[in-house]
Amino acid sequence: MASHGKESDTAVEAMVAQVEKHPISSILIIIAMQTEALPVVNKFQLTENPHSSFPKGVPWVHYHGTYKDIKINLVWPGKDLTFGVDSVGTISASLVTYGSIQALEPDLIINAGTAGGFKAKGAGIGDVFLVSHLAFHDRRIPIPTGRLSTGDSLDMSPQDEASITANDATVKDMEGAAVAYVADLLKVPAIFVKAVTDLVDGEKPTAEEFLQNLAAVTAALDQAVTQVVDFISGKCLSEL
């Protein structure tokens, strides 16, 4: 007789296979910062949901609407309750991804946001990348290599730089790999769209360049997210 664990795995696999045969009807967009999120909210004419089913007390903000017969939910983590700044980083991204999957049950996740780029790898300000692989660069353990490297700091320490180089990363962010970890854990496919605000290996200070380019680059980001959703419209997961 099969064990309970094996029966559960089989049921999940069957459910995933069934979902892959139907057109995508629900997308969850996860974005870390309000400045990044609002252009996408406006682009898809989403409205804020003041009565979300998220855990009581979390500052997460939920927008929803319909675009080309696809139900779109957009969630950003909101403002830190202590410091009043955007709740960026891997911990917040992991919690929001988990809570949103449980509450909203999406067919597909899109993690969109800004990132630092590496001039040595051909990245330029305003470039938008559809990410192929992800990795954490501040975990001091062996990890698979990736094109997007994720950590909890805007700047880059020598140890981070060594990991990022080993990962062969083109862009560096603070949420992507965390979203990927939770999405993979809960068997929800995910797409990662990252727009470059600053060059990590450039001449300008990272924070200065990031703030200087943030508004313009978020405009490019919302265009890229729209293109991705337009491409997805009418398709099944197996066709992506």
**Cα distances (Å, whole numbers) of residue 90 to 45, 69, 153:** 28, 32, 10
Sign of dihedral through CA atoms 153, 209, 126, 101? Answer: positive
Rounded CA separation 215/152 (Å): 22
Strands 134-136 and 148-150: parallel
Angle at 237 between CA 61 and CA 234, to 5 degrees: 85
Is residue 177 within 8 A of residue 148, CB to CB? The reply is yes
- Counting Cα atoms < 13 Å in the Cβ hemisphere of 189 gives 17
3-class SS of residue 102: helix
Q: Which residues are catalytic?
A: 36, 198
- Terminal-residue alpha carbon distance, the chain: 37
* CA distances for 96 relative to 88, 202, 232, angstroms: 11, 32, 23
Chain CA centroid to CA 161, Å: 22
